[in-house]
Amino acid sequence: MRTIKFLLQKEFRQIFRNRAILILIMVMPVMQLIILPLAADYEVKNINLSVVDHDHSPYSQQLISKITASGYFRLQGYHTSIEEAYRSIEQDKADLALEIPYGFERNLIREGEQQLFIAVNAINGTKAGLGGAYLADIIRDYNQHIRTELTIPTRFQSLPIIEIVPNNRFNPLLNYQFFMVPGILAILLTMVGGFLSALNIVKEKEIGTIEQINVTPIKKHHFILGKLIPFWILGNVVFTLGLLVSWLVYGIFPQGNLLAMYGFIWVYLLAVLGFGLLISTYTDTQQQAMFIMFFFMMIFILMGGLFTPINSMPGWAKVIANLNPVSYLVEVMRMIILKGSGWRAVLPHLGAILGFALVLNSWAIWNYRKTN
Amino acid sequence: MVTVNNITKTYNKGAVKAVDDVSFSVEKGELFGVIGPDGAGKSSIFRILTTLLLPDGGTATVDGHDVVKDYRYIRNHVGYMPGRFSLYQDLTIEENIQFFATVFNTTVAENHHLIEDIYIQLEPFKKRRAGKLSGGMKQKLALCCALIHKPTVLFLDEPTTGVDPVSRKEFWEMLKRLKQQGITVLVSTPYMDEATRCDRIALMQHGKILSIDSPQGIIRAYPGPLYAIKATDKPRITQALATHAPSFSSYIFGEYIHVDPQGVSSKYLTEELTTLLAKEGFREIEVMPITPTIEDCFIKMLTK
């Protein structure tokens, strides 16, 4: 115990003397948490629309104004032919082109049927898919509208209309930030913890101080604990800062058990730090450690369920996601912060993370050699 | 105090033989020097003896304990100063000493008498971070940290490399005082002139020990006489001597050229060398018989 106390004293002295890193640890997550959720948004807005209106009728005018009024589209311009509209897509000025044929209004009323043509620039898949869907949605809505307008409702022959009233549980206004902020906080916590611990032991190797430590009677697990505890404490500070930012800036406060949230974070940090330490025991330079950590971070982030739901991944990817501690954290954060879950609901996740923590740390202790 | 029996260590899966069947022993209270050029295997031996490296073959004991089996005991009882400065550069002098004292479960006060002489010189800068010290000061600090737990054996791997001549001299004075306090000291160095400060030395080259003896013993064992020559046109002297039959081996040694007559012994060699050089057209010729230095002995052993 005495040894650990002095190891900790030494580590903290070093951490507090490394001003640049300390500021980075504290300021970076706060900055990113303020900036990223505002930019990383699933909703597609400002879709540039080219319109080719051959009809110039009140109906076509109505349709166009309905589309532009939705807020998703920005009218890029009117064209006289579809070829011209294509050109604007080719020049990347427009994302979508809508062609309203000649006689749109007349045919619609007389024959009750008309076709519209939509061309989508599919280079950006998300934008194309969502843009097309939005447009189709608006047109369907418009269609519904004229049908009710044209059909004279009688007592016997009323038009059946199914209206869907969605109730968005846990996030009634579908506020995108509620979804994104906890996820980004999870990633930031993982990055800070993982990188700091991965670089630390390697730094001692690089500078040569480990040589001196290795001839002392310090026990291996003492040494590893001496590295683990300071970063564990820093991780908690970062997490608390993150929670404060999401509360003050986004008004997001954990709906569930705050203690359960912290309890999970405590175990989670052990797992992430253990992973960092493990990498540092396998590498010889900070550069190596950095690149290996980057490799895993990319996988952790992209396969952690932050941007894409894990359920829609192929089978093999689900296996990887199950081995990805970040996926558990992202899920638990959303459960506790948005859904208001308590201890019981996160127990399976907690068990898995505890397993990660035990395996990774034991592995790190085992692989750290005082003798070569 | 330290015994090494047939220690072998290879790197790169046997491709590089760093230590090749080395044996020696060091008595208690001895100041033992391992001397040899870079890559001779000095550091490998030190790392094996301080339990940082496992030997491929052979056994070694420190203070009566096996370096492989009893590594715990050894880590508690030896002091090690690696060739590269390896203290915490972002901690101050005071904090470094304190840290290493506590790591060994002792206090600075308890063994202060051991580091007193050295610490006095560091004290004015005790609040300075180790990374900001000069080379000589760093070495003194490293020595303090290696001593603070009162080791029975002290291993110093090239402690004077990269240190100015005055600090080097001071450093050896310190080692002498440590020896007087009964601490066994093993020190490695590539500087031949430092050899005479040791009680006994082992000359090493390519992982093998060429000779182990007291510096005087090694010098006494030098076969045949040795001459120092000085004349104009120094670079041409070795050429001139090599063409002479029987050829003399010669090498530049500071401002002189050392000539080893290689078995040719004659009372009049001084005169013969003078006339030989005069005939070759050299002027201001100066020839005198000298006692060989350790470096001469080392060169002699290498050419054998």
Is B102 near chain A, with CB under 8 Å? yes
Residue A16 has pLDDT above 60, yes or no: yes
> Does residue B299 share a domain with residue B154?
no
> Does residue B76 share a domain with residue B203?
yes
B268-273 long-range contacts, CB within 8 A, separation 24+: B269/B225, B269/B227, B270/B227, B273/B227, B273/B229
How many other CB atoms sit within 10 Å of the CB of residue A199?
20
SS3 B20: strand
A206 vs A344: CA distance, rounded Å: 45
B85 vs B88: CA distance, rounded Å: 9
Q: What total number of domains does chain B contain? A: 2
Write out chain A residues lying below 8 Å of B66, CB-based: none
CA closest to A11 among chain B residues: B91
Residue B214 has pLDDT above 80, yes or no: yes
Q: Nearest Cα to B33, choosing from B187, B182, B155, B161?
A: B187
B87–A217 C-beta distance less than 8 A: no
Is A3 near chain B, with CB under 8 Å? yes
> Rounded mean pLDDT of chain A?
87
Is A167 near chain B, with CB under 8 Å? no
Segment B292-301 shows an average pLDDT of 87
B1 vs A351: CA distance, rounded Å: 53
Whether the CA torsion B216, B218, B223, B225 is positive or negative: it is negative
**pLDDT of res. A159:** 62
A28 vs B196: CA distance, rounded Å: 58
B180 vs A21: CA distance, rounded Å: 46
Which residue, B154, B189, B220, sits at the end of a domain? Answer: B220
Residue A156 has pLDDT above 60, yes or no: no
For residue range A318-358, what is the model confidence (pLDDT) as tens digits? 898 889 999 999 999 988 988 888 888 899 999 999 999 99
What CATH number is given to the structural domain containing B203?
A: 3.40.50.300
What CATH number is given to the structural domain containing B263?
A: 3.30.70
Residue A236 has pLDDT above 90, yes or no: yes
A208–B50 C-beta distance less than 8 A: no
**pLDDT of res. A362:** 92
Is B93 near chain A, with CB under 8 Å? no
User: Predicted confidence band at A154 (pLDDT cuts at 50, 70, 90)?
Assistant: low
Residue B267 has pLDDT above 90, yes or no: no
A263 vs A236: CA distance, rounded Å: 11
> Does residue B230 share a domain with residue B280?
yes
Structure tokens, B168: 């080097």
What's the pTM? 0.80
Instruction: Look up residue B107 and give its amino acid.
Output: T
Candidates A7, A17, A372; nearest CB to B53:
A372
* Secondary structure tally for chain A: helices H, strands E: 14, 4
> Does residue B272 share a domain with residue B214?
no
> Does residue B295 share a domain with residue B161?
no
Torsion of CA B153, B6, B36, B253, to 10 degrees: 130
A371–B90 C-beta distance less than 8 A: no
CA closest to A12 among chain B residues: B91
B264 vs B266: CA distance, rounded Å: 7
Segment A194-200 shows an average pLDDT of 90
> Does residue B124 share a domain with residue B42?
yes
A371–B100 C-beta distance less than 8 A: no
A216–B82 C-beta distance less than 8 A: no
Instruction: Look up residue B283 and give its amino acid.
Output: R
Segment B96-121 shows an average pLDDT of 90
> Does residue B282 share a domain with residue B143?
no
Residue A293 has pLDDT above 80, yes or no: yes
In a 10 Å sphere around its CB, with 0-12 CB exposed, 13-18 middle and 19+ buried, how is residue B270 labelled? middle
A270 vs A291: CA distance, rounded Å: 21
Question: How many residues are given for chain B?
Answer: 304
**DSSP readout, A137-206?**
HHHHHHHHHHHHHHS---SSSPPP--------TT-TT--HHHHHHHHHHHHHHHHHHHHHHHHHHHHHHH
* Pairing mode, strands B2-11 and B57-62: antiparallel
Write out chain B residues lying below 8 Å of A216, CB-based: 75, 100, 103-104
CA distance B102 to chain A (A): 7
Min mean pLDDT across A145-159, A194-208, B186-200 is at A145-159
Candidates A14, A210, A216; nearest CB to B103:
A216
A8 vs A228: CA distance, rounded Å: 9
Segment B236-250 shows an average pLDDT of 75
B72–A217 C-beta distance less than 8 A: yes
**pLDDT of res. A149:** 76
> Does residue B178 share a domain with residue B101?
yes
Q: Are B213 and B221 in contact (CB under 8 A)?
A: yes
> Does residue B277 share a domain with residue B197?
no
The H or E element spanning position A47 is: strand A47-53
* The residue to which tokens 């029975």 are assigned: B152
CA distance A227 to chain B (A): 15
Q: Are B159 and B190 in contact (CB under 8 A)?
A: no
Q: List the Cα angle B107/B113/B118 in 5-degree steps.
A: 100
Q: Nearest Cα to A273, choosing from A238, A322, A245?
A: A238
Sorted by where each begins, the domain ranges of chain A are 2-40+173-367, 47-150
In a 10 Å sphere around its CB, with 0-12 CB exposed, 13-18 middle and 19+ buried, how is residue A143 labelled? middle
B72–A371 C-beta distance less than 8 A: no
User: Between A and B, how many CB-CB pairs are < 8 A?
Assistant: 71
Q: Which residues contact A88 (CB under 8 A, 6 or more apart)?
A: A50, A76, A77, A79, A94, A97
List, in sequence order, every residue forming a beta bridge with A332; answer none if it has no partner: none
Residue A166 has pLDDT above 80, yes or no: no
**pLDDT of res. B264:** 67
**pLDDT of res. A270:** 95
B86–A208 C-beta distance less than 8 A: yes
How many other CB atoms sit within 10 Å of the CB of residue A292?
15
CA distance A293 to chain B (A): 25
Residue B244 has pLDDT above 80, yes or no: no
> Which residues of chain A from 206 to 235 reach within 8 Å of chain B, CB to CB?
207-218
- Report CA Rg, chain B: 23
User: Predicted confidence band at A103 (pLDDT cuts at 50, 70, 90)?
Assistant: confident
Starting at the edge strand found earlier in the chain, the sheet holding B16-26 runs: B16-26, B2-11, B57-62, B65-66
**pLDDT of res. A153:** 60
> Does residue B166 share a domain with residue B257?
no
User: Predicted confidence band at B91 (pLDDT cuts at 50, 70, 90)?
Assistant: very high
Q: List the Cα angle A62/A65/A67 in 5-degree steps.
A: 110
Residue A163 has pLDDT above 80, yes or no: no
User: Predicted confidence band at B16 (pLDDT cuts at 50, 70, 90)?
Assistant: confident
Segment A79-91 shows an average pLDDT of 88
Is B107 near chain A, with CB under 8 Å? no
Is B91 near chain A, with CB under 8 Å? yes
User: Predicted confidence band at A242 (pLDDT cuts at 50, 70, 90)?
Assistant: very high
Residue B286 has pLDDT above 90, yes or no: no
Residue A157 has pLDDT above 70, yes or no: no
Q: Are B4 and B67 in contact (CB under 8 A)?
A: no
> Does residue B282 share a domain with residue B197?
no
Is A13 near chain B, with CB under 8 Å? yes
The H or E element spanning position B271 is: helix B269-279
CA distance A207 to chain B (A): 7
**DSSP readout, A52-63?**
EESS--HHHHHH
How many other CB atoms sit within 10 Å of the CB of residue A317?
15
Supply the range of the domain harboring residue B115.
2-220
Which residue, B172, B201, B220, sits at the end of a domain? Answer: B220
Residue A39 has pLDDT above 90, yes or no: no
User: Predicted confidence band at A128 (pLDDT cuts at 50, 70, 90)?
Assistant: confident
**pLDDT of res. A158:** 59
A307 vs A302: CA distance, rounded Å: 7
User: Predicted confidence band at A160 (pLDDT cuts at 50, 70, 90)?
Assistant: low
Q: Nearest Cα to A127, choosing from A95, A102, A160?
A: A95
**DSSP readout, A227-270?**
HHHHHHHHHHHHHHHHHHHHHHHH----SS-HHHHHHHHHHHHH
Answer yes or no: CATH 3.40.1710.10 is held by domain A47-150. Answer: yes
Which residue, B220, B253, B281, sits at the end of a domain? Answer: B220
Residue B261 has pLDDT above 80, yes or no: no
> Does residue B173 share a domain with residue B27?
yes
Write out chain A residues lying below 8 Å of B51, CB-based: 215, 370-371
**pLDDT of res. A155:** 58
Among residues of chain B, what percentage have pLDDT more than 70? Answer: 97
Q: Which residues contact B281 (CB under 8 A, 6 or more apart)?
A: none
Among residues of chain A, what percentage have pLDDT more than 90? Answer: 30
Q: Nearest Cα to B33, choosing from B207, B181, B140, B172?
A: B172
If you average pLDDT over each of A38-42, A128-132, B86-90, which comes out highest?
A: B86-90
Segment A79-97 shows an average pLDDT of 87
Q: Which residues contact B58 (CB under 8 A, 6 or more apart)?
A: B4, B5, B6, B7, B8, B21, B22, B23
Is B70 near chain A, with CB under 8 Å? no
SS3 A44: coil
Q: Nearest Cα to B159, choosing from B181, B190, B129, B132?
A: B190
**pLDDT of res. A189:** 92
CA distance A18 to chain B (A): 8
Residue A272 has pLDDT above 80, yes or no: yes
Instruction: Look up residue B12 and give its amino acid.
Output: N
Candidates A6, A209, A214; nearest CB to B87:
A209
If you average pLDDT over each of A169-173, A318-322, A352-356, B233-237, which comes out highest?
A: A352-356
For residue range A198-219, what is the model confidence (pLDDT) as tens digits? 998 899 999 889 988 988 988 8
**pLDDT of res. A260:** 92
